[in-house]
Homo-oligomer: A and B are copies of this chain.
Amino acid sequence: MSEAAAPRRARGGGGAARRAARSAISFDTARFIERNIPNLDILTAEAIEIIETNAETVLEEIGVAFVENPVALARWRDAGADVRGERVHIPRGLARKLCETAPARFTQIARNRDRDVEIGGNSLVLAPVYGPPFVRDQAGGRRYATMADFETFVKLGYMSKWLHHSGGTVCEPTDVPVNKRHFDMLYAHMTLSDKPFMGSVTEPSRAADSVAMAKILFGDDVVDQNCVMTSLININSPLTFDGVMMGALEEYAAAGQAAIVSPFIVGGAMAPVSVAGTLTQVLAEVMAGVAYSQLIRPGAPVIFGAFVTSIDMNSGAPTFGTPEAAQITYGAGQLARRLNLPFRSGGSFTGSKLPDAQAAYETANSLNAALLSGVNFMLHACGWLEGGLVASPEKFVMDADQLGVLHKLAQGIAIDENAQAMDALREVGPGGHFLGCAHTQANYSDAFWRTGLLDYKPFETWAEEGARSTQELAAVKVDKMLADYQAPPLDPAINEALQAFMTERKAAMPDAFI
């Protein structure tokens, strides 16, 4: 039994927090997925060996660049790498060896301990869209995202049953100065939700601020002894680790907080056009980044990330939900498991401008491949549009409903006596009907996954109700969720301390908008 299912334990919040918890409005959140089905391994043993050998060649012969980061170069030199200028040539086997101290599975705790998640092994943790500067909704169309939109997405995530994690930059609040928005974003996750969340990575100082705010929320000891944040550390593919991202990684690793070390690749542009070539580069990049995290603090929790998609060779646009993206996801999952590292990939990816059929085909292709490739942490699991430029509340709840499909599929097929249903087959017999039989009556309430959104009504009823599309039904659901939303309780003393910290820090810096 994991910690997530264990009784709620005492922590820093004190008596007020416990009293608040007792009076909470509780929204049902599913436990993170633990797969009871196999992964689809599409790389042969021979292919894995070739890719792993080639990745070592890349690290040794071509090397990786750690730019504007002399301390990192010194660390690599001390570890045995051949450093020439900013280029780090990593001797064959060294990166893989350094990766060995990273944990295969770790727990990220939430302020509501029932919502702790475990990342690694057979788990799958689902987190929402990350990063879009624009928002599109049915009522307002497409526009720059604001802090109000950010809060909307945090609330929707809090109320989404199949979402285990509140995520990070659910959209870019462009109405807040760029050097101050991390405070508001973290504060929203900490106060509007009680699910686990992510820290800021846009400057090392903002990562430090994130750790400081987490210490106010959880208490110093809890943060020192637990993972309370994940962070998205993108590699500047090909083979480049920039100083800002590595600075954030250094902060988080030193604090024992988790980092997703993730190549960001549009295949054909930032990696070779071939799947095997891209996997080679992904593996080399992740091994170098994870190894570096372990040079900072052996045992720091890290995740093997792979954000990889293909390119439309006509327009140069990135494309999503494609077969090549699925192949890379399957392959990267195998490579991550060979390293004994948790694996991050997949998401509600689409290039579509609207939450229409294109969006849903591409998203469903991505979600299915992510489940079956053994993803442990799925960022962007709901809410993406337009290649990640846009977050959409309607798409958010549409995708979040589909995440329920993954939960049920991952359970596998029960084969106990009740599931065998021989009594039902005997009772009904040829030509009969199962709806009324005892087995159906005993099992109907949880036999099948139930949508909270899709329309199964007869044509006539559906037509009378306005012949609504999925997007229109989703818009109604968004409004209902926001109307029903109630913030999870939080110790007022913690809330005040968070606000005081933010006020003081913000006052110490001028506004910056670029």
Q: Which residues of A contact B (CB under 8 A)?
A: 37-38, 40-44, 46-47, 50-51, 54, 57-58, 61-65, 67, 87, 142, 236, 238-240, 267-281, 310-319, 321-324, 326-327, 331, 351-365, 368-369, 372, 386, 389, 398, 402, 405-409, 412-415, 418-422, 424-426, 428-435, 439-440, 443-445, 447-451, 454-459, 462-463, 467, 469-471
Question: Within the complex, what minimum Cβ distance (angstroms) separates A445 from chain B?
Answer: 7
Known A356-B356, A420-B274; judge A269-B459 contact (CB<8 A). no
Q: Is the CB of B430 within 8 A of A358?
A: no
Question: Within the complex, what minimum Cβ distance (angstroms) separates A478 from chain B?
Answer: 14
Cβ-defined partner of A358 (8 Å) among B278, B448, B454: B454
Q: Is the CB of A444 within 8 A of B54?
A: no
7 pairs of A and B residues whose beta carbons are closest in the complex? A277-B421, A364-B364, A360-B360, A272-B421, A323-B408, A239-B430, A273-B447
Q: Is the CB of A433 within 8 A of B364?
A: no
Q: With a CB–CB cut-off of 8 A, which chain B residues contact A368?
A: 364-365, 368-369
Q: With a CB–CB cut-off of 8 A, which chain B residues contact A40?
A: 37-38, 40, 372
The winner among A44, A271, A276, A314 for most chain B CB atoms within 10 A is: A276
Q: How far, in angstroms, from A354 to B470 measured CA to CA in the complex?
A: 9
Known A238-B432, A439-B272; judge A62-B425 contact (CB<8 A). yes
Q: Can you name the residue of chain B whose Cβ is closest to the Cβ of A43?
A: B413
Q: Can you name the residue of chain B whose Cβ is closest to the Cβ of A55?
A: B425
Q: With a CB–CB cut-off of 8 A, which chain B residues contact A277?
A: 419-422, 424-425, 439
Q: Is the CB of A238 within 8 A of B419?
A: no
Cβ-defined partner of A274 (8 Å) among B67, B268, B270, B419: B419
Q: Is the CB of B455 within 8 A of A351?
A: yes
Q: Is the CB of B50 within 8 A of A352?
A: no
Q: How far, in angstroms, from A418 to B41 measured CA to CA in the complex?
A: 22
Q: How far, in angstroms, from A355 to B322 measured CA to CA in the complex?
A: 20
Cβ-defined partner of A459 (8 Å) among B386, B450, B454: B386
Q: With a CB–CB cut-off of 8 A, which chain B residues contact A353?
A: 455, 459, 462-463, 467
Q: How far, in angstroms, from A276 to B420 measured CA to CA in the complex?
A: 5
Q: With a CB–CB cut-off of 8 A, which chain B residues contact A445?
A: 313
Q: Is the CB of A444 within 8 A of B273?
A: yes
Q: With a CB–CB cut-off of 8 A, which chain B residues contact A420?
A: 50-51, 54, 274, 276-277, 280
Cβ-defined partner of A430 (8 Å) among B63, B142, B272: B63
Question: Within the complex, what minimum Cβ distance (angstroms) separates A122 from chain B?
Answer: 14
Q: Is the CB of A413 within 8 A of B87?
A: no
Q: Is the CB of A239 within 8 A of B431?
A: yes
Q: With a CB–CB cut-off of 8 A, which chain B residues contact A321?
A: 405
Known A58-B425, A440-B268; judge A457-B317 contact (CB<8 A). yes
Question: Within the complex, what minimum Cβ distance (angstroms) separates A159 from chain B?
Answer: 20
Q: Can you name the residue of chain B whose Cβ is closest to the Cβ of A326?
A: B409
Q: How far, in angstroms, from A326 to B372 measured CA to CA in the complex?
A: 13
Q: How far, in angstroms, from A496 to B440 measured CA to CA in the complex?
A: 56
Q: Is the CB of B389 within 8 A of A459?
A: yes
Q: How far, in angstroms, from A485 to B239 measured CA to CA in the complex?
A: 49
Known A322-B405, A324-B448, A386-B459; judge A276-B421 contact (CB<8 A). yes
Q: With a CB–CB cut-off of 8 A, which chain B residues contact A319?
A: 448, 451, 456
Question: Within the complex, what minimum Cβ distance (angstroms) separates A392 from chain B?
Answer: 11
Q: Is the CB of A413 within 8 A of B47?
A: yes
Q: Can you name the residue of chain B whose Cβ is closest to the Cβ of A454?
A: B358
Question: Within the complex, what minimum Cβ distance (angstroms) separates A428 from chain B?
Answer: 6
Q: Can you name the residue of chain B whose Cβ is closest to the Cβ of A278?
A: B421
The winner among A331, A431, A445 for most chain B CB atoms within 10 A is: A431
Q: Is the CB of B454 within 8 A of A236?
A: no
Q: Is the CB of B269 within 8 A of A470?
A: no
Q: Is the CB of A57 within 8 A of B422?
A: yes
Q: How far, in angstroms, from A449 to B54 measured CA to CA in the complex?
A: 25
Question: Within the complex, what minimum Cβ distance (angstroms) separates A65 from chain B?
Answer: 4
Q: Is the CB of A238 within 8 A of B428?
A: yes
**11 A-B residue contacts at CB 8 Å?**
A238-B425, A238-B430, A238-B434, A240-B430, A267-B447, A268-B440, A280-B421, A317-B458, A322-B449, A327-B413, A362-B454
